[in-house]
Amino acid sequence: MSLLEVENLHVSYGAIQALRGCSLHVDEGEIVTLIGGNGAGKSTMLRTISGLLTPKQGEIRFDGNSIRKAAPHLVARAGLIHVPEGRGIFANLTVEENLQLGAFSRTDHQQIREDRERALTLFPRVRERLRQAAGTLSGGEQQMVAIARALLARPKLLMLDEPSLGLAPQVVQTIFQVIREINRTGTTILLVEQNAAMALNVAHRAYVIEVGSIEMEGPASELAKSDDIRKAYLGIH
């Protein structure tokens, strides 16, 4: 069953059409990746799904319900959690306070404690930094805090926008290992990523977006073998 369905989505910034009739779906339990170059419309897609942008046309359904006109906080409360490009952490708050904000709308205190422990087990570096101001952390550590905070919201679907952007290769490996583990323990993931090789390696299915249109889709392993994809995104000629 599709947890997320996007149909014929059109989104504009003033006169600029950012998405042109895009459709995609994410089934329960999957990792689906959306790959494409700079300015292709990847972040616009996630921002529209999470309610930060309003589409001109099209439908978005999450868990069987239309969220096309839902406010962002209601989308999040429904279990669709968005970790934005740039991480969006609160730099002046401690790491612990950032994590607490992830569980802001929850009242199941025992499960919050369990989810916090799970997130800190996934990210031992975050556990070591709980009392530090989040703004003093390295970029990789901030990304870990952003994902850990998202897990405290107990997402049904976790949307990650460029989680590897600007990070050292070793940290990127860690982030992608954690993405796999989060999925293995039951969380569905929609991943936007410029590192196409890593994204296709971790995902079950993939969509390729170019200039606001979905141009290709299919099993990630098959797209990774496509000559067009290898030339355009994997640097293999």
| Ranges of each domain in the chain | 2-79+156-233, 91-154
Task: Please state whether the predicted TM-score (pTM) of the whole model is above 0.85.
Answer: yes
Distance CA 133, CA 33 (A): 32
pLDDT of residue 43: 95
Which tokens in the block code for residue 171?
């940290």
Do 26 and 157 touch, CB atoms closer than 8 A?
yes
C-beta neighbour count of 109 within 10 angstroms: 9
Residues 6 or more apart whose Cβ sits within 8 Å of residue 198: 164, 172, 176
pLDDT of residue 38: 86
* Lookup result for tokens 């990746």: 33
Show pLDDT as tens, one digit a residue, over the chain (237 residues): 799 999 999 999 988 999 999 999 999 999 999 999 888 999 999 999 999 999 999 999 999 999 999 999 999 999 999 999 987 899 999 999 999 999 998 889 999 999 999 999 999 999 999 999 999 999 999 999 999 999 999 999 999 999 999 898 999 999 999 999 999 999 999 999 988 999 999 999 999 999 999 999 999 999 998 888 888 877 665
Q: Which of 64, 18, 71, 72 is nearest to 45 (CA)?
A: 18
* Lookup result for tokens 């530090």: 132
* Lookup result for tokens 């952007």: 165
Task: Give me the sign of the Cα torsion angle 109, 113, 116, 118.
Answer: negative
pLDDT of residue 86: 83
Strands 188-192 and 213-219, sheet pairing: unpaired
- For domain 2-79+156-233, is the CATH number 3.20.20.120? no
